[in-house]
């Protein structure tokens, strides 16, 4: 065993002591003892390359000696050669074996040892003389926020508090800690609060594979600590809610192949939807229900409500006012006297086969027409504008006639200034004047006759882009625009509609007949596969066929 020697206290530099908190009362007693009796037990130091020495174990004695006698005090030391790993291990072990080191301080020190062992926890436990379970439970405290660890260091809270806090996010811990300290809540009180804040994993609608080993899974906490909330809970509400929202969106996305409208319903959406039924007190009638299938307000709902989270309700009407009117119309028609020879009405409750009530997962009804959704309307209007521009082309006589008509009907304001200025710049290779009439007139004068003609054409093109839809419809009808020259079935359109509506399209264009027996097999596949099949029917002529929903 090495014999102790003395070193000037000021020549001993601090080490990496895992202990951060020193009890003031006990330190005061030690300082008084050292003042009268000096240091009896030497501290452990290691030599450094620059000739100085670093403290490894004995910081309480060093602090007491410095307070009692100053930096010139001859400090008894044992000098031992050791590397960084040995120094840190000895410092931690020495503190654990001595006076009540806080578990949080042990956790920080143990984490450093694991780092020195290159992540090998078994070797770290062996070095510390701990069981693997003890090591893991201490390291789990590193899930605590800095303020919680500090509170445990200073004995402001108990180990049970910290173990409970460790299951929650650091933000949650920092919000709750001041309340616990100020109001003096015990471990049992904190446990009740955290149990109320946790989310049930059994009720989760998302894939819980990643939750098994998560630090916020209360089951993992129960295995690790003496104090934990009941198993089967997630203590990270933000993560839980984010995963729930992603699953709701994924469920909704999967329904959009079948329905034009899919909504996630939230608390407060009670009166924004109603189950579409043909008969019963709230039935619209069999014939009307078929017509409703093509409406853009017909679709499916995904529940975002706590008591039915993730449930799917198909066959929903999202225009409750319209639904009430249809129900009222059906009731009035039933009260009207029937002809003596009339058979039981097809829409009566005796013969109707429409589904009753909200049934999650009910089969999607077949569409009878392509819904004029906002997306389809936008596609249709864009087609009209593009086709009209191309059909007029460079027919300057027609261009002048249409421009005169546009101005005469008060539609000159519809000329899209931004579009026209862009065309000016492209045709004349110069930016048009912003506000100077003279400059604009000179620019137009300097343009070649061909460029002037092109500018007039550009003016009409920009007007076509700017007029409202009713006026555009008038122009298309007057011009007798032939859409068959400018449209044939494409992916862009099919992406806008449901698989059920694609069957309507296939019937209208004659694709179902051309596909024969393959038609049913194709529609058993995914929407992208159905689209690909509809656009690649062998020997089918797609030209000259325009859907009714696209006509003006």
Distance CA 202, CA 402 (A): 68
Question: For position 485, what pLDDT does the model report?
Answer: 95
Residue 491: its pLDDT value, please? Answer: 96
How does pLDDT run across 361-374, given as a tens digit for each residue?
455 567 788 888 88
Per-residue pLDDT band for 354 (boundaries 50, 70, 90) equals very low
Find how far residue 480's CA is from the centre of its chain: 48
Given a cut of 90, whether residue 404 has pLDDT beyond it is yes
* Residue 544 banded pLDDT, cuts 50, 70, 90: very high
Is the separation of the CB atoms in 79 and 53 below 8 Å? yes
Average pLDDT estimate for 245-271:
88
pLDDT at residue 93 is higher than 60: yes
- pLDDT tens-digit profile of 130-164? 888 888 888 888 888 889 998 998 889 988 898 88
Asked whether the predicted pLDDT for residue 349 surpasses 50, the reply is: no
At residue 339, the pLDDT reads 57
Rounded distance between C-alpha atoms, residue 265 and residue 243, angstroms: 17
Q: Which residues, listed in sequence order, are joined to residue 60 by a DSSP beta bridge?
A: none
Segment 518-528 mean pLDDT? 91
Kindly report the average pLDDT of the chain as a whole number. Answer: 84
Confidence of residue 348 (pLDDT cuts 50, 70, 90): very low
Q: Which residues contact 458 (CB under 8 A, 6 or more apart)?
A: 419, 420, 423, 424, 427
Task: In whole angstroms, give the CA distance from residue 364 to residue 296.
Answer: 15
Most confident of 70-84, 232-246, 291-305, 487-501: 487-501
Distance of CA 193 to the CA centre of its chain: 28
Question: What's the rounded Cα separation, in Å, for the pair 234 and 198?
Answer: 6
Predicted pLDDT of residue 353: 40
Helix (H, G, I), strand (E, B) or coil at 369: coil
pLDDT surpasses 70 at 25: yes
Q: What pLDDT does 364 receive?
A: 56
CA-to-CA dists, residue 302 to 172, 181, 266, 350, angstroms: 30, 43, 9, 31
Reported as a pLDDT band with limits 50, 70 and 90, residue 519 is very high
Task: Note the pLDDT of residue 221.
Answer: 64
pLDDT-based confidence at residue 480 (cuts at 50, 70, 90): very high
Using a 10 angstrom Cβ sphere, with 0-12 exposed, 13-18 middle and 19 or more buried, the burial of residue 391 is middle
Asked whether the beta carbons of 27 and 60 are under 8 A apart, the reply is: yes
Q: Check residues 55 and 218 and name the one with the higher pLDDT.
A: 55
DSSP secondary structure of 480-520: T--GGGT----HHHHTTS-HHHHHHHHHHHTHHHHHTTHHH
Q: Summarize pLDDT for 101-135 with one digit per residue, the tens.
A: 788 888 887 887 887 787 888 988 888 888 888 88
Q: What is the 3-state secondary structure (H, E, C) of 412-433?
A: HHHCCHHHHHHHHHHHHCCCCC
Which pLDDT value is given to residue 43?
A: 87
More confident residue, 423 or 74: 74
Using DSSP's 3-state secondary structure scheme, residue 398 falls into helix
Q: How far is residue 328's CA from residue 498's CA, in Å, rounded to a whole number? A: 29
**8 Å CB contact between 59 and 14:** yes
pTM of the prediction? Answer: 0.49
Dihedral sign computed on CA atoms, order 40, 43, 44, 49: negative
Residue range 313-341: mean pLDDT, rounded: 84
Predicted confidence at residue 379, as pLDDT, reads 96
Q: What is the pLDDT of residue 355?
A: 40
Q: What is the arrangement of strands in the sheet containing 274-275, beginning at the earlier edge strand?
A: 261-265, 298-303, 312-317, 274-275
* Mean pLDDT computed over 278-293: 89
Rounded to an integer, the average pLDDT of 213-228 is 72
- 26: number of CA atoms within 13 Å, CB side? 7
- 137: its two tokens: 């439970």
- pLDDT attached to residue 13: 86
Average pLDDT over residues 236-251: 92
| Cα–Cα distance for residue pair 95/364, rounded to 1 Å | 70
Q: Residue 305: name the closest of 249, 264, 273, 271 by CA.
A: 264
Flag whether pLDDT at 284 surpasses 70: yes
- Residue 293 in contact with residue 258, Cβ under 8 Å? no
SS3 74: strand
The pLDDT, as a whole number, for residue 376 is: 92
pLDDT attached to residue 237? 83
d(CA 179, CA 245): 31
Whole-number pLDDT of residue 230? 62
pLDDT at 428 over 70: yes
Q: What percent of the chain has pLDDT over 90?
A: 31
Question: Which pLDDT score is estimated for 514?
Answer: 94
Distances, alpha carbon 504 to alpha carbons 128, 286, 315, 498, in Å: 74, 19, 18, 10
Which is more confident, 301 or 435? 301
How confident is the model at residue 99, as a pLDDT?
Answer: 55
**pLDDT band at residue 18 under the 50/70/90 scheme:** low
- Tokens describing residue 365: 């009804």
At residue 351, the pLDDT reads 39
Of the given ranges (73-77, 196-200, 361-365, 428-432), which has the lowest mean pLDDT? 361-365
pLDDT band at residue 95 under the 50/70/90 scheme = low
Contact 76, 65 (CB under 8 A): no
Question: Which of the four pLDDT bands, split at 50, 70 and 90, describes residue 215?
Answer: confident
pLDDT at 345 over 60: no
| Residues counted in the chain | 552
Is the pLDDT reported for residue 440 higher than 80?
yes
Identify the pLDDT of residue 343.
Answer: 44
The average pLDDT across 335-349 equals 52
* pLDDT confidence bin for 516, thresholds 50/70/90: very high
């Amino acid at each position: 065993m090495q014999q102790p020697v003395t070193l000037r206290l000021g020549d001993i530099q601090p080490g990496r002591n895992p202990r951060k908190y020193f009890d003031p009362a006990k330190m005061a007693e030690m300082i008084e003892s050292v003042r009268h009796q000096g240091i009896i037990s030497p501290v452990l130091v290691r030599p450094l390359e620059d000739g100085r020495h670093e403290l490894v174990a004995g910081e309480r004695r060093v602090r007491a000696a410095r307070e009692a006698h100053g930096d010139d005090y001859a400090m008894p030391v044992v000098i031992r050669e050791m590397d960084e790993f040995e120094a840190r291990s000895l410092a931690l072990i020495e503190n654990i074996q001595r006076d009540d080191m806080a578990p949080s301080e042990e956790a920080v020190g143990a984490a450093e040892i694991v780092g020195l062992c290159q992540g090998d926890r078994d070797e770290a436990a062996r070095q510390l003389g701990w069981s693997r379970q003890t090591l893991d439970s201490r390291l789990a405290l590193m899930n605590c926020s800095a303020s919680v660890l500090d509170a445990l260091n200073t004995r402001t809270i108990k180990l049970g508090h910290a173990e409970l806090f460790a299951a929650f996010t650091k933000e949650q811990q920092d919000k709750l800690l001041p309340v616990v300290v100020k109001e003096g809540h015990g471990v049992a009180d904190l446990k009740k609060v955290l149990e109320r804040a946790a989310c049930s994993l059994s009720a989760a609608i998302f894939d819980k594979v990643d939750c098994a080993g998560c630090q916020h899974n209360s089951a993992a906490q129960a295995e690790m600590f003496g104090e934990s909330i009941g198993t089967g809970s997630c203590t990270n509400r933000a993560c839980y809610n984010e995963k729930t929202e992603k699953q709701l969106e994924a469920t909704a996305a999967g329904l959009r192949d079948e329905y034009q409208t899919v909504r996630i319903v939230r608390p407060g959406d009670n009166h924004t939807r109603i189950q579409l039924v043909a008969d019963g007190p709230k039935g619209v009638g069999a014939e009307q229900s078929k017509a409703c299938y093509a409406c853009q307000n017909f679709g499916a709902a995904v529940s975002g409500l706590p008591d039915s989270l993730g449930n799917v309700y198909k066959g929903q009407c999202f225009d409750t006012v319209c639904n009430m009117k249809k129900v009222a119309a059906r009731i009035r028609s039933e009260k009207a006297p029937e002809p003596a020879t009339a058979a039981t009405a097809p829409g009566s409750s005796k013969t109707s086969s429409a589904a009753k009530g909200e049934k999650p997962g009910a089969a999607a009804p077949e569409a009878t027409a392509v819904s004029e959704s906002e997306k389809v309307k936008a596609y249709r209007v864009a087609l009209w504008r593009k086709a009209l521009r191309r059909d007029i082309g460079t027919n300057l006589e027609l261009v002048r006639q249409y421009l005169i008509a546009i101005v005469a009907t008060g539609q000159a304001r519809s000329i899209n200034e931004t579009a026209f200025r862009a065309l000016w710049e492209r045709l004349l290779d110069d930016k048009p004047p912003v506000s100077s009439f003279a400059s604009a007139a000179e620019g137009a004068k300097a343009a070649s006759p061909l460029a002037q003609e092109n500018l007039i054409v550009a003016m009409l093109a920009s007007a076509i882009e700017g007029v409202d839809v009713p006026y555009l419809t008038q122009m298309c009808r007057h011009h007798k625009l032939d859409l068959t020259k400018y449209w044939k079935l494409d992916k862009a359109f099919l992406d806008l509609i449901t698989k059920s509506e694609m069957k309507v399209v296939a019937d209208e264009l004659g694709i179902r007949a051309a596909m024969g027996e393959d038609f049913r097999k194709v529609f058993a596949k995914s929407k992208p596969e159905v689209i690909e099949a509809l656009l690649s029917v062998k020997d089918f002529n797609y030209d000259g066929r325009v859907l009714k929903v696209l006509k003006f």
